[in-house]
Amino acid sequence: MSGSDPDSSKPAIDRAGPVVILVEPQLGENIGMCARAMGNFGLSRLRLVKPRDGWPNVHARRSAAGADAILDAAELFETVEDAVKDCSLLFATTARPHDQAKPVLAPEAAAREMVAEIAGAGEVGVLFGRERWGLTNEEVALAGRIITFPVNPAFSSLNLAQAVLLIGYEWFKHATGNALPFTRPERSARASQQQFQAFFDNLVAELDRVEFLRPREKRDTMLVNLRNIFVRMEPTEQDINTLHGAVMAIADGRKGPAKGGVLDGAGAAELRTLLAESVTAGGDRDGGPARGLARLLRRNPTDAERALWDRLRSDRRFAGAFKRQTPVGRHIPDFVSFTRKIAIELINAGESEQVASERSARRDWLMARDYRVLWFEAALIEHDVEPALAEIAALQDAE
């Protein structure tokens, strides 16, 4: 909160509040800081009685931290009597006893009375005295109530803006029912036992594969401890989805080189060829083998596919529009954007005529359905992906 500028994107709190009356304030900076404190707690009406350095005051504006509207609307008076004559309930703030027979209230109790008086169409004013010596007995005598603060008796003097802030805080708290400007974000629904058990079974299966749950005689105790770790979290459905994804990502990473797949780049290229030949041979008619190979290919991208995919996900121009190895009808292009109707294919070096023929047939099928198709040599992508990104962006902008 400290150092934050006013946020014009959020609605201002518009409530009738008490009038802040500064009696002979000495420094423009203090007036500006009082205006800032008022703005924090929805107070907008400021009255000044004979400010020492005149009014308007450039130093006040500099220290107001954006509360310019309060300063612009400030009213100037020559006497305290004139400044308070329309107030039906007047409070005087002071750190010193003035030996006057009238109620002495803490800020919280005073705020309750302010809210009630304003609700009854009354006018409430709060007097704040001079920085060095506060209010005179005669000025305190004008008020029906005295406000004093529970402070250290040996060091009871408050900065003028601090006093305004404390009063503003208590008034605003009561006027708004102590409502906070924001609360904890809404969580997704609590995960069901079935969802939790599915995640936990998957976790245990992966831990067994790496022989984590050893020695055998301690396995049951380790599983209880693991389960309790997650139960204490009270996971939501989103938590379980995230944890499940993390476990699967770690499991996939364990199965091969650091690039994250079962196969290296050369093996992945062979897998792409196998997929294309399976489609050409009619192996996808039942939606089984070809789709299964496509899922395997998603886990085993070639070097070129990985390079392009990383950039398509991170470049703001494409904003998550593309998917990898996702079916479009009976065909599975390397990359596809359903929203922008763009398909992208990578051509590996030394591919067979059968693979090239299948790609051409796939392009014709997609174009007949209003997809725009781009082909890129895999070797060029590996060398420099930027020209391909520029071509994709140009095609996307030509919609």
Cβ(126)–Cβ(21) under 8 Å? yes
Q: Which residue has the tokens 């205006």?
A: 35
How many domains does the chain divide into? 3
Distant-in-sequence, close-in-space partners of 71: CB < 8 Å, separation ≥ 6: 31, 32, 35, 46, 56, 60, 61, 64
Instruction: Classify 132 as helix, strand or coil.
Output: coil
C-alpha 158: how far from chain center: 36
Same domain for 160 and 32, yes or no, is yes
- Same domain (yes/no): 340, 244: no
Range of 69-73, 97-101, 243-247 with top mean pLDDT: 69-73
Q: Are residues 154 and 212 in the same domain?
A: no
| Residue 188 within any structural domain of the chain | no
123 in any annotated domain: yes
Element housing 337 (H / E): strand 335-337
Give the pLDDT of residue 359: 86
pTM of the predicted model over 0.85 = no
Cβ-count burial of 225 within 10 angstroms (0-12 exposed, 13-18 middle, 19+ buried)? exposed
The pLDDT, as a whole number, for residue 127 is 96
- Which domain range does residue 234 map to? 193-254
Give residue 22's pLDDT: 95
Any idea what the CATH number is for the domain that residue 49 is in? 3.40.1280.10
Q: Give pLDDT tens digits for 28-83.
A: 999 999 999 999 898 999 999 999 988 988 999 998 888 899 999 999 999 999 99
Residues 158 and 81 in one domain: yes
pLDDT averaged over the chain? 83
> Domain for residue 327, yes or no?
yes
The reply to whether 125 and 40 lie within a common domain is yes
Q: In this structure, what CATH number is given to the domain that contains residue 275? A: 3.40.960.10
State whether 357 and 231 are in the same domain.
no
